[in-house]
Structure 1
Amino acid sequence: MLSQTELICRLLLAAVLGSLIGFERERMSWAAGLRTHMLVSVGSALIMIVSSFGFADILDNPHVILDPSRVAAQVVSGIGFLGAGSILLRGEVIRGLTTAASLWSVAAVGLAIGGGLYVAAISATLIILFILAGLKPLEKWYFESRQRYKLHLIVDEGSMTIHALELALGLGSSRIKKFVVRQGENEPDTDEVLISFARLSEREFSSVRLQIERIKGVRRIEDNTAHD
């Protein structure tokens, strides 16, 4: 059976490790932030402690068999409801999968602390933090290093919509990174349209540009810029 000091230390360590991961999510302004991750980690640690040591007084009974892994398995599957709550549908884009995964991971960290696997828990926390914070700049650099093109269009007022653009481009519409329409400042009855494309080759962009020029209502393309 654990001593009271050991029990408290495990719960505190679970809270600390959970807070490290939660702080990174809090910094990104996600719903599941610092306190949520701490609670998941501490709760998972406590459940593991209860599962492993909470029934010590009845283990001498020959008809009782204790399997701590059963409770741990329920934590791993049950944490899904919190993960689902952190996933948001914004327009047609799903956001929050990484935060859901971090909640699932921090539950595993709590279980490891509850089971006394300190090295594994601390190592996992460092790896998770590297994945969440350390890899993000590399990921951003990788995608920004791919060619990105922008178009500035002058079109008839109300003629350019995202639906019309998608119809004209077909599969190419999946490369649209940004689409902004604003009222024309220099010409009456016109709109200015800013379109940004990601992960296009120069040949693909030329084809996309021609397709856009053919859309009804497009008066001209003011400029286009490419980033390598």
Structure 2
Amino acid sequence: MDQVEMIIRLLIAAALGSVIGFDRERLSWAAGLRTHMLVCVGSALVMIVSAYGFQEVVGKPGIALDPSRMAAQVVSGIGFLGAGSILLRGEVIRGLTTAASLWSVAAVGLAVGGGLYIAAAAATLIILIILAGLKPLEKRFFVARQRREVRLVVRRGAMTFQMFGQLLDKGTAQIEQFIVEQNANDADIEEVTVALLRVLPSEFDVILVKLKALPDVHEVSEIRLP
């Protein structure tokens, strides 16, 4: 492969990675435009090196090379970067989609590095449709029906993220947002707004009952979503 073809492949990888990264950047995720571009270009370069970087020694006595081994390490190695985008959010499990997009972009980069331009472009289009096109449908038909918000009026310091998490059964609802604001008229009162995901109506009713039974909780009300 000549030098011009090599540069073209790296530029194509950067362009395709930017398409996916722009969607993540638009939503203000930690792994955004530059991260996806770097992953895609890096994967393409690894594929190029894996396929063409050892031509000088291939065929010499006593040397046996498997050109797929370096490329295979990208598939497993990108998992560390993906895990970082998940764990960055602490106790709230978020970022799974961004981790999956990073892994997919790495595969796109490998395809470009191997000269499979049509497959790489088609995969980029499909990934973009999944990330941007299906999200409104997901919110409308799935997430919205399993999302609940509750507002609490409590004594100052009486409700923390950890305390609220103890009210939830493991494997059921998840906390999407936890916002604490000081009452404008009373410094000893806080207003807590909590958004829950994947919570069934029956589970939410149980959570409300538990909250109302707490001694330092003065008021519990559900925020009706549109």
User: TM class by shorter-chain length?
Assistant: 0.7 to 0.9
Which TM-score applies when normalising by structure 2?
A: 0.76
8 Å Cα contact 1:24-1:132 kept in structure 2: yes
Equivalent residue number for residue 31 of structure 1:
30
> For residue 215 of structure 2, what is the amino acid of its counterpart?
K
Question: 1:159–1:216: 8 Å Cα contact kept in structure 2?
Answer: no
TM superposition shift of 1:187: 7.7
Structure 1 residue aligned with 2:156: 158
Q: Matched residues in 2 for 1:34 and 1:208: separation?
A: 39
**In structure 2, distance between residues paired with 1:5 and 1:159:** 63
Distance in structure 1 (CA, Å) of the matches to 2:176 and 2:153? 19
Please tell me the residue identity of whatever aligns with 2:27.
Answer: M
Q: Is the 8 A contact 2:173 2:199 kept in 1?
A: no
Provide Cα deviations, 1:75-107, integer angstroms capped at 9, x if missing partner.
Answer: 223333433443343341133333333222222
Q: CA RMSD in A?
A: 3.4
Aligned position for 2:47: 48
Match of 2:97 in 1: 98
Do the aligned partners of 1:148 and 1:226 also contact (CA within 8 Å) in 2? no
Q: What's the offset of the Cα at 1:216?
A: 1.9
Q: Tell me the CA shift for residue 73 of structure 1.
A: 1.3
| Residues 164 and 92 of structure 1: CA distance in aligned 2, closer, same or farther (over 3 Å) | closer
8 A contact 1:113–1:121 mirrored in 2: yes
Which of structures 1 and 2 has the bigger CA Rg? Answer: 1
* One-letter amino acid matched to 1:19: S
State the partner residue of 2:88: 89
Q: How does 1:137-216 map to 2 (within 5 A)?
A: 137-146=136-145, 148-155=147-154, 157-158=155-156, 160-162=158-160, 169=167, 171=169, 174=173, 178-184=177-183, 191-216=190-215
Counterpart contact for 2:92–2:176, Cα < 8 Å: no
Number of residue pairs aligned between Structure 1 and Structure 2: 224
Structure 1 unmatched ranges of 5 or more: none
Residue deviations 1:107-147 (CA, integer Å, cap 9, x gap)? 21111111111122111111222222222222222344316
**8 Å CA contact retained: 1:177, 1:195:** yes
Give the stretch that moved more between structures: 201-210 or 52-61: 201-210
Q: Does the C-alpha gap of structure 1 residues 93 and 58 become closer, same or farther in structure 2, counting only changes over 3 Å?
A: same
Cα shift at 1:174: 3.6
Tell me which moved more, 106-115 or 191-200.
191-200
In structure 2, C-alpha distance between the alignment counterparts of 1:56 and 1:103, rounded to whole Å? 30
Give TM-score scaled by structure 1 length.
Answer: 0.75
Distance 1:87 1:188 in 2: 35
User: Do the aligned partners of residues 115 and 215 (structure 1) sit closer, same or farther apart at CA in structure 2, a change above 3 Å counting?
Assistant: same
Does structure 1 retain, via aligned residues, the 8 Å contact 2:176–2:194?
yes
Distance 1:46 1:226 in 2: 51
CA 13–152 in structure 1, closer or farther in 2 if over 3 Å, else same: closer
Alignment of 1:69 onto 2:68: yes
